A and B are shown apart, each in its own frame.
Chain A
Amino acid sequence: MITMVNNQNNSTVQITLSNRIGYEKIAMACSASFAEMFGFSNDRIEDLKTIVGEASTNAMEHGNQGRLDARVVVSMSFKDDTICVSVADEGPGIGKQPPPPDIARIIENNEAICGFGLFLIKQLADKVDFTKKPDNGHVVHMALNMKAQADHAE
């Protein structure tokens, strides 16, 4: 289900996804179209697609733990040159966040392969927050400015 809400100050699109791996590509495609409407560059659109895809996959696999009756809700809004995306699942959320993966240690078999999705989200998004919903659920909030990170980091 895709819902669009427009008012003078911002524009919002909300997508409700069945909890099926592969459906994250629907959210990615929607986010790309959304960003294109506001003039985002191809580079930033690719960044957006990656963070939306990774957050949605995490929500399906870890948040909803693969439950087919669960849903993932992806909401996008645009304001002040920035797209804000939230990805909500029905799970309890992540407890302790994994440290950034160390590929050298992984290659040497000293570290489990995990945490790459969250790592990429943190690397590509300009802002990331996590909140718990009062009625059992978890939301990842991400913001991505239309300018490349290097251009607005100073």
Chain B
Amino acid sequence: MQNKNEVTLKKQGSVVIFNIQGDITSFSEPFLNQAYKEANDQGTEKILLNLEEGAYINSGGIAVLIQILAQTKKNNQQISITGLSEHFKKIFNMVGITKFADIHNDVESAIAVMSK
């Protein structure tokens, strides 16, 4: 019962938005890595991970997201996340993701901050 993600990339100004459909689990790794590779190959400097509202995120998915964070830090890219419920905002704060990625309530506010 492997879940599949659909990740579509959309450029808005200087920010590349990853619109991610589906749950974020260890099975998300190839989908997110492929999307990151595409964005990175295009010389992207700012990435916004826009998660689907109500998506299930487990520790395997958190590990995948941390791998992406590690790559963005290595490549000096700015990264933010939107689409999180209050519960997952708490979880991301607990595990320390918020030290490496800004969390925004919606895409518009994230783009506004990231475009400065």
Contact = CB atoms under 8 A, between A and B. Distances in A.
B97 interface: yes
A54 interface: yes
* A-side interface mostly: helix
A119 B59 CA distance: 9
B70 interface: yes
Contacts, number: 62
A103 B2 CA distance: 26
Given A57-B58, A113-B66, A103 B97 contact: yes
B99 A116 contact: no
A57 B97 CA distance: 21
Contacts of A46: 85, 87
Interface in A14-66: 20-25, 43, 46-47, 50, 53-54, 57
Interface stretch (A5-13, A83-91, A104-112): A104-112
B60 interface: yes
A53 B99 contact: no
Nearest to B57: A50
Interface residues on B, range: 20 to 34
A123 interface: yes
* B-side interface mostly: helix
A23 B95 contact: no
Interface residues of A, number: 28
Given A21-B1, A103-B96, A50 B66 contact: no
A10 B3 CA distance: 36
B56 A25 contact: yes
Contact of A104 (B60, B67, B87, B99): B99
Contacts of A117: 58-60
Interface in B33-91: 56, 58-60, 62-63, 66-67, 69-70, 73, 85-87, 91
Contact of A50 (B2, B25, B70, B87): B87
B100 interface: yes
A125 to B, nearest CB: 13
B112 interface: no
A43 B87 contact: yes
Interface of B: 1-3, 25, 56, 58-60, 62-63, 66-67, 69-70, 73, 85-87, 91, 94-97, 99-100
Interface of A: 20-25, 43, 46-47, 50, 53-54, 57, 101-104, 106-109, 113-114, 116-117, 119-120, 123
Given A116-B63, A120-B91, 5 more contacts: A54-B59, A103-B97, A107-B100, A113-B67, A119-B95
